[in-house]
Structure 1
Amino acid sequence: MNHRDGTLTLAPGSKAAGASLYWQQWSPDDDPKAIIVLVHGYAEHSGRYQYFAKHCVARGYAVFALDHWGHGKSDGTPGFVPDFSVFRDGVDQLIAQAKQDFPDLPVMLVGHSMGGLISASYLLAGQDKIAACVLSGPAIKAAEEPSGVLKAISGFLSRFFPKLGVLALDSNGVSRDPKVVADYLADPLVYNGKMGARLAAEMLGNMTSVQENAGQISLPMLLLHGGKDSLAGVEGSEFLDQHISSSEKQLKIYPELFHEIFNEPEKDLVLNDMTDWLDQQLATRGA
């Protein structure tokens, strides 16, 4: 397996233009058959996906992943984002990098948690660049739907106190594997502080946008979700399954799994389900 890393600079026009984003690529020794662009979740970073990358590379895929603005080794303020579009800008430039390296290969988008929301939001305008998409525990609906009052307060705080910490995540909801939780808490590149008001409001706004425009998404879609996910409501995956217009779509709920299904004890089963489905999409394209 080959590995390389580098930095991307957000282009002029981005709300965080000039910011440096760290990215990584894992690829097989032989020519890969397709590209997986991985979009990680809130507070974490691309380095947590080495097991994911090893599996996908063994199946013949090249994997590209970045650290979002404000995450991991990238520029930015943890728990904050000036505008949700900054996350989409980073994904777009990573896809451009992947296509530069492998111009003839199809791109498969895989988004986890907030990365699932980023991916779904990206598809509303950019699905022509993507051959198929997998969403893992996407944050499309909150585990507990916020009230109208809370949304109004969130909007006020976002405008006037954008970096004020308003939401803490329960790390015990990440995985049933105690080692995964311990490693998560000990990882210096994982942010364990509160989510700021601006990012919280931006997430809520983009959840609403994806829900209202889900019918515009028409590419092949695989939705994977842990049935006992306490951090991102399984209702979000069910909603997408019911409302996207894709003729090729599949929803798979793992009844006992927590939020990070790629880090659960059953991770090999989940990863095989994902790459088997991606292989099917490639076979259909080649038919």
Structure 2
Amino acid sequence: MPEPGAAPRRSPQGVPYSDLPHIVNADGLHLFCRYWEPDGPPRALVFIAHGAGEHCGPYDKIAQRLKGLSLLVFAHDHVGHGQSEGDRMIIKDFQVYIRDSLQHIDLMKSRYPDLPIFIIGHSMGGAISILTACERSSDFAGVVLIAPMVQMNPDSATPFKVFLAKVLNHMLPSLTLGSIQSKWVSRDQTEVEAYDADKLNFHGGLRVSFGIQLMGAAARIEREIPSISWPFLLLHGDADKLCDIRGSKMMYENAPSSDKGFKIYEGGYHALHNDLPEVAESVLKEVTTWITERLPDTTSPQPQGS
């Protein structure tokens, strides 16, 4: 609780956290949360991990569809993102994202101890999801990965560039490397314009120090893949210029899980759930069908439109 007379903690947008759903992480930072609760008793919990530079708001379409199937969906803006506290797109350790995700998941699990838990992760949120599930491999009924960051793009991760990045990180950690190109997010121009206009997205340059954290996460995922036993579904566009599809292929081929799927979208860009309308709809159907097929009750309602 704040000290008597202390000013209330406010989001980066100036809204008091007392007026917003939130959790407080282990570092004392407030993380903005969203909850999509079904009308009746939930049949499963689904945690959504958003990508770098964005926030959990754009996952409303997926969340609403799952909510309509009696699933309770929840998410938060990662530290330094959206309506959460923290320096924008600066992280001292990638593990903070995983730790915060597990905190939120444990909170919901304590309220609904008997429900299966799924994770949906996109882009950097895919890396967070993979490593979160690896830390608690028996806790999750399944993980859905939409264009996940599994490997750094080989063209940007040559040994020399990695060495250079580490030198720069030591000398100039706040040096920026350029920003996320919104034109590669979606083939739907309306979605690109919405991404550019969204003030909760980060439109600045990515720092060298952040790139180093992503490299470390990718290296850790590569070490974990041979021991992945939990069910997962990979969805990736073969024209994705932001997260290399070769990482998804490598994960699919090398993870020993007995329940794994991989769907490639020909010509698909990075945010498949916000790509061309027919692709976005296909992604919604794939995700909802895959999750509902793994619910304990086989008399589950079918996904809309299937």
The aligned residue for residue 201 of structure 1 is 212
The DSSP-based 3-state class of the residue aligned with 2:233 is strand
Larger Rg: 2
What residue identity is the alignment partner of 2:294? Answer: Q
Q: Kindly report which structure 2 residues correspond to 1:160-239, keeping only aligned pairs within 5 A, or say none.
A: 160-239=171-250
Q: Is the 8 A contact 1:107 1:132 kept in 2?
A: yes
Match of 1:116 among 122, 126, 137: 126
Structure 2: how far apart are the matches of 1:284 and 1:219?
19
Q: TM-score, normalised by structure 2?
A: 0.87
Aligned residues: 278
Which residue in the other structure is 2:280 paired with?
A: 267
> 2:44 matched to 1:34?
yes
Question: What secondary structure sits across from 1:137 in the alignment?
Answer: strand
Following the alignment from structure 1 to structure 2, what is the Cα–Cα distance between the partners of residues 276 and 196? Answer: 38
User: How many Å separate the matches in 1 of 2:159 and 2:297?
Assistant: 44
- Match of 1:18? 28
Find out whether 1:65 has 2:75 as its counterpart: yes
Structure 1 length normalisation: TM-score? 0.92
Gaps in structure 1 of 5+ consecutive residues: 12-16
Q: Secondary structure at the match of 2:136?
A: helix
Aligned residues of 2:39 and 2:70 also touching (Cα < 8 A) = no
Which of 104, 107, 111 is matched with 2:114 structurally?
104
Write out aligned runs for 1:124-163 (5 A): 124-145=134-155, 146-163=157-174
In 2, distance between residues paired with 1:102 and 1:46?
A: 22
Compute the displacement of 1:283 (Å). Answer: 4.5
* Residue 14 of structure 1: aligned partner: none
Q: What letter is aligned with 2:24? A: T
SS of 2:115's equivalent in the other structure is coil
Q: Equivalent residue of 2:31, what SS?
A: strand
Give % identity.
32
Matched, 1:276 2:289: yes
Contact 1:79/1:194, CA 8 A, preserved across alignment? no
Indicate the RMSD between aligned Cα atoms, in angstroms: 1.7
Return 5+ residue gaps in structure 2 as ranges.
1-18, 300-306
Residues in 1 aligned to 2:246 and 2:269: alpha-carbon distance in whole angstroms: 14
Question: What's the CA shift string for 1:187-228, capped at 9, x where partnerless?
Answer: 110001111111100101110111122112100110111121
Conservation of the 8 A alpha-carbon contact between 1:43 and 1:190: yes
CA distance in 2, matches of 1:216, 1:163: 35
Q: Deviations over 1:91-150 (max 9, x none)?
A: 111101221332221110111000001111222222222111111100112334311111
In structure 2, the partner of 1:8 is: 23
